[in-house]
Amino acid sequence: MATLANGIRHFPDYLDRQAQEHLVELIRGVVAEAPLYTPEMPGTGKPMSVRMTNCGSLGWVTDRDKGYRYQPFHPATKKPWPAIPPELLDLWEKLADYPKPPEACLINFYSDDAKMGLHQDKDEDDLAAPVLSVSLGDSCLFRVGGLNRKDPTGSFRLASGDIVVLGGEGRIAFHGVDRIYPGTSTLLKNGGRINLTLRRVNS
């Protein structure tokens, strides 16, 4: 484990290949029930470059009219989100160092040219709870800064099986994904990267 600025923790190679493959199968099951969709930026309606879905009692969504929020159902199917798989709950219990379980798992799929601009995860009521992030598939360049958008940033690669925990002061640090490195993993048959972020929403 490496502890970064603001107490952000990086666990490289935490999941072995077998565990990664198992998680991918679980996520395929989630996506079969709650399909990936393309979210929209608030106000502009501009489509994001990632596709996403969720599992858990709540799911993070965004669209042009209502903006960033959590809701208990898929925006397209209107059905409740599938449950968070026990294997992900186990990861939270081992690494999050927080007494309450996560309520949402956001699933982002990055194609070769997808990225995620610098942002803060602060749509949750309970900012004392960390955000636990699991990387599967192709490596990415992950950028993290401070509590203000103009603070200096640093970047490092995240590979398949890596886990990052944003907690403490780093819980609301600005962070993002600058780029994907295509062909760096054989985990996903058609390439790309899956990122899972476990979150506690309510206090």
What's the pLDDT tens digit per position in 66-125?
A: 999 999 999 999 999 999 999 999 999 999 999 999 999 999 999 999 999 999 999 999
In which band, very low, low, confident or very high, does the pLDDT at 163 lie, cut at 50, 70 and 90? very high
What's the pLDDT tens digit per position in 67-76?
A: 999 999 999 9
Question: Is pTM, for the whole model, over 0.75?
Answer: yes
In single-letter form, the type of residue at position 165 comes to V
What's the pLDDT tens digit per position in 142-151?
A: 999 988 999 9
**Given this model, what pLDDT does residue 1 score?**
67
- Who wins on pLDDT, 83 or 8? 83
**Can you state the percent helix, strand and coil of the chain, rounding each to 5?**
15, 35, 50
Helix (H, G, I), strand (E, B) or coil at 181: strand
Q: Side by side, which strands form the sheet with 51-56?
A: 2-3, 9-11, 163-166, 131-137, 193-199, 104-110, 51-56
The full set of domain ranges for the chain reads 2-199
Domain covering 2-199, topology: Jelly Rolls (2.60.120)
- Do the Cβ atoms of 196 and 133 come closer than 8 Å? yes
Give me the percent of the chain exceeding a pLDDT of 70.
Answer: 98
Q: Distance between terminal CA atoms of the chain?
A: 28
